[in-house]
Amino acid sequence: MLSHFWRFAAVVLILFALGVPRSIAFACTPPPGGLPFFSVTDHVNAAPIVLEGVVIATAGQYFPEIATIQIVQYIKGNGPSTIKVAGYGPSSVCLSSVVLGDHFVFYVSGDDVNGYQAFYLSQFDSIAPADSQTLAEAAAASGQQPIFLSPAEPILTQVAAVRGSDGTPAPTLDRSPILTEVYATSNAAVAAYATDPAGQSVILTQAAATLFTLSATPVPCASTHSIAEHTQAADVVAEGVVTQTDGGIVAVQVVQYFKKSNSSFSPNLQLNIIQSANCSLALSVGDHYIFYALGDPVLPVYALNQDNYVPIAPVDETTIAEITAASGQEPEAVQSLEGIILSLSATGTVTALPPQLATVTPTPTPFSSFNLTPTPFITPVPPPNPFLTVESLTLAGICGIVALLVGLGLGVAATLILRQRD
């Protein structure tokens, strides 16, 4: 009789083990429905320190894990002119990726005594582009006067001299004149209303409005590469519609893939594209383009906007024909354009496709000028997952114990029934 119990218990344990989802995964696949939306204001409110700076050095065994950042300005909080911040890495483990010369807004926690850590609200979101719109929104949300330490351009020039001519970081093109005006306005507000915070707030609000107005027209990205060269340089080429923008990440619902390298998985409905500050695109929800990116589409990918490449192209028959010829792959349809637009319309996000940005036909250049070194997505030893907490492990353990007890209880009940029958 007892053998029936152990046989049944063994079966229950095997079924339980097969049914338990794995709680630890180092491949950072976006959750169903895409990543949660956190605005710049959300990040500024949550992060203890918000700063604009330039990465002047990196350290790490397998990837840049610690970044030495020279501060341009403290938007929230205060500290030294140079700090070392840990917690960066490849997006394959949900972290923000940084390299020498990166010019970003950084969300940080910690202090000089305990060290500084990258601050995350979601996956790979501890940084944001250092463009005028992000800086204005961050300054408005911080509730403090920005503490300006150094212009960004001299720092970028020094880093470029260290790195050489290849991959020279480019400053945000519309930044200098706008920020000069904002700093002047801010200083005037502090001087005129030294003991009147309400008066300061009025002038600073006007300065922010001016900043938004001046940054409304983006500086276009210029390219000397042909459509074919873009296609050959990119790992992923897809037609899609922008459905969400948050800092440096753009969510794109894919209509069809023209090229999909480095992946054996089914085609994703959504691409999460990480932008850098090499050029200003000002993408909006509803924008319909062909997107060029680096990486595996199962993971977050990087916009192809370095070395004079532009990460978008117009959706027209000529462009599609050139891309198809250059990719050597048949287009792979994923979902209908009409369905995506209807979905956006149903949520009130957009009522119709906006007009496309004006584009200039690029002049072909020899393909030998292409020189990219994409960030690796797989590392030999992944760092601890920042989203795997003691609380989550404790809850998973409790659930496992409860499920095990239930299984054993069922086994005992089944044994008693079999014993009565015998």
Tell whether 301 is covered by a domain. Answer: yes
Q: Are residues 12 and 86 in the same domain?
A: no
Tell whether 34 is covered by a domain. Answer: no
Q: What pLDDT is attached to residue 120? A: 93
Judge contact between 212 and 131, C-beta under 8 A: no
Q: Are residues 159 and 307 in the same domain?
A: no
CATH at residue 281: 2.40.50.120
Q: Are residues 173 and 106 in the same domain?
A: yes
Structure token pair of residue 350 = 């957009």
> For each of the chain's 422 residues, which pLDDT tens digit applies?
545 555 555 555 555 544 544 433 434 556 677 678 899 999 999 999 999 999 998 887 656 789 999 999 999 999 999 999 999 987 666 788 888 888 999 999 999 889 999 999 988 889 999 998 999 999 999 999 999 998 888 888 877 766 544 443 333 333 344 445 555 555 566 666 666 666 666 666 665 555 445 444 444 566 777 898 888 888 889 999 988 876 567 889 999 999 986 554 567 888 888 765 455 567 788 888 999 988 776 666 777 766 667 888 889 999 999 999 998 888 999 998 888 888 877 765 554 444 433 333 333 323 222 232 333 322 333 334 444 444 444 555 676 777 778 877 877 777 777 777 66
Q: Are residues 59 and 137 in the same domain?
A: yes
Helix H, strand E, coil C: the string for the chain is: CHHHHHHHHHHHHHHHHHHCCCCCCCCCCCCCCCCCCCCHHHHHHHCCEEEEEEEEEEECCCCCCEEEEEEEEEEECCCCCEEEEECCCCHHHCCCCCCCCCEEEEEEEEECCCEEEECCCCCCCCEEECCHHHHHHHHHHHCCCCEECCCHHHHHHHHHHHHCCCCCCCCCCCHHHHHHHHHHHHHHHHHHCCCCHHHHHHHHHHHHHHHHHHCCCCCCCCCCCCHHHHHHHCCEEEEEEEEEEECCEEEEEEEEEEEECCCCCCCCCEEEEECCCCCCCCCCCCCEEEEEEECCCCCCEEECCCCCCCCEECCCHHHHHHHHHHHCCCCEECCCHHHHHHHHHHCCCCCCCCCCCCCCCCCCCCHHHCCCCCCCCCCCCCCCCCCCCHHHHHHHHHHHHHHHHHHHHHHHHHHHHHHHHC
Q: Are residues 87 and 236 in the same domain?
A: no
Q: Are residues 58 and 114 in the same domain?
A: yes
Q: What pLDDT is attached to residue 225? A: 79
Tell whether 375 is covered by a domain. Answer: no
Q: What pLDDT is attached to residue 345? A: 75
Q: Indicate the residue among 157, 179, 214 that finishes a domain.
A: 214
Q: Are residues 10 and 50 in the same domain?
A: no
Q: Indicate the residue among 187, 214, 241 that finishes a domain.
A: 214
Q: Are residues 55 and 193 in the same domain?
A: yes
Q: Are residues 183 and 50 in the same domain?
A: yes
Q: Which domain holds residue 308?
A: 227-369
Tell whether 219 is covered by a domain. Answer: no
Tell whether 30 is covered by a domain. Answer: no
Pick from 107, 108, 100: nearest CA to 156? 100
Q: What pLDDT is attached to residue 75? A: 96
Tell whether 378 is covered by a domain. Answer: no
Judge contact between 310 and 103, C-beta under 8 A: no
Asked whether the CA dihedral 156, 161, 165, 167 is positive or negative, the reply is negative
Contacts of 166 (CB under 8 A, 6+ apart): 371
Tell whether 380 is covered by a domain. Answer: no
Our count of domains for the chain comes to: 3
Q: What pLDDT is attached to residue 148? A: 93
Interatomic CA distance for residues 133 and 214, integer angstroms: 9
Q: Are residues 277 and 164 in the same domain?
A: no
Amino acid letter, 413: A
Q: Are residues 138 and 270 in the same domain?
A: no
Q: Are residues 402 and 269 in the same domain?
A: no
Interatomic CA distance for residues 286 and 342, integer angstroms: 11
Q: Which residues pair with 52 in a beta bridge?
A: 73, 105
Tell whether 387 is covered by a domain. Answer: no
Residue 73: what are its φ and ψ, rounded to 5°?
Answer: -160, 150
Interatomic CA distance for residues 228 and 325, integer angstroms: 8
